[in-house]
């Protein structure tokens, strides 16, 4: 009998046991097969583990990168057989940090107006419009030589305007500001006044201070230089400035102004006189 025939007979015999109709034979065959398989595994596994543990490639650890420490082992030149271990250490690289510098630049001005406010005042290059509430005329007695101008209201339409120069002129009349009959000229300070009690009055400062000065003490007082005041006129001009100044040559830069005419009260034919009874 050949080896192949023996293998085929064993295969057939085991297959008949595994699929036997008798449960006891079938279970016994399967138990025997499992026992044989376990015996084979228990025999092969320790042998495989021993082979793996004795392999040099398994004992050698994976190389690790080291950048700070290196160890050099050299044979001793003395009679001693023990090796000498020399350890060398690589210092950590120096860390360079950029120097911190503090800037000493001056802060930029918030606007061109603030940059020139401390210097000599000049008119704005582009003059803004003003809202003016000034009477166009005033009625007085034909024989009157003085007149109090009613209160006025002036406001720049550009909210950036801080300083205003008011130029008020009249032919044949003097303009009196604040204290009546006494010049109140002020060449320095927050409110500048020039030409008080003359035919050309200039007031410069913040817009509110200028208007409050014109309305102070009952308002602007007008006094004729000769004859009646009726028929005379006043010219108002307002100039936006970078800072207060009272230079008359800047009055021509104004883009907002008004003329107030003083007229005389008269009687016409429609005037009716009332009658009365005497007792």
At 278 the pLDDT is 55
Walk along the chain (279 residues) in steps of 10 and give the mean pLDDT of each run: 72 71 77 81 73 58 51 45 51 59 42 48 94 94 93 94 96 90 87 94 96 92 92 95 95 95 75 55
At residue 272, the pLDDT reads 57
Would you state the pLDDT for residue 12? Answer: 73
Which pLDDT score is estimated for 262?
Answer: 93
Beta strands of the chain (E only): which ranges? 69-74, 84-89, 130-133, 137-140, 146-148, 153-156, 163-170, 173-176, 192-194, 200-206, 221-224, 233-241, 256-264
Domains of the chain: 3-53 (no CATH), 116-264 (2.60.40)
């Amino acid at each position: 009998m050949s080896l192949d025939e023996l293998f085929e007979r064993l295969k057939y015999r085991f297959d008949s046991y595994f699929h036997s109709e008798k449960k006891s034979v079938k279970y016994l065959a399967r138990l025997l097969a499992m026992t044989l398989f376990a015996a084979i595994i228990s025999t092969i596994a320790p042998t495989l583990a021993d082979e793996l543990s004795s392999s040099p490639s398994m004992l050698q650890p994976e190389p690790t990168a080291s950048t700070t420490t290196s160890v050099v082992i050299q044979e001793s030149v003395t009679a001693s057989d023990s090796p000498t271990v020399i350890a060398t250490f690589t210092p950590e690289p120096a860390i360079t940090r950029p120097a911190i510098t503090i800037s000493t630049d001056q802060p930029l001005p918030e606007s061109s107006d603030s940059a020139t406010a401390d210097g000599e005042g000049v008119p704005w290059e582009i003059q803004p419009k003003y809202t003016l509430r000034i009477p166009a005329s005033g009625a007085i007695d034909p024989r009157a030589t003085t007149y109090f101008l009613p209160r006025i209201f002036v406001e720049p339409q550009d909210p950036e305007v801080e300083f205003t120069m008011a130029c008020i002129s009249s032919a044949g009349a003097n303009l009196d500001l604040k204290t009546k009959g006494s010049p109140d000229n002020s060449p320095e300070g927050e409110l500048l006044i020039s030409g008080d009690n003359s035919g050309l009055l200039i007031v410069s400062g913040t817009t509110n201070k200028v208007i409050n000065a014109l309305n102070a003490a009952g308002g602007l007082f007008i006094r004729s230089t000769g004859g009646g005041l009726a028929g005379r006129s006043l010219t108002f001009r307002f100039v936006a400035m970078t800072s207060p100044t009272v230079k008359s040559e800047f009055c021509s830069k104004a883009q907002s102004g008004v003329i107030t005419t003083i007229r005389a009260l008269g009687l016409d034919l429609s005037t009716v006189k009332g009658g009365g009874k005497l007792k």
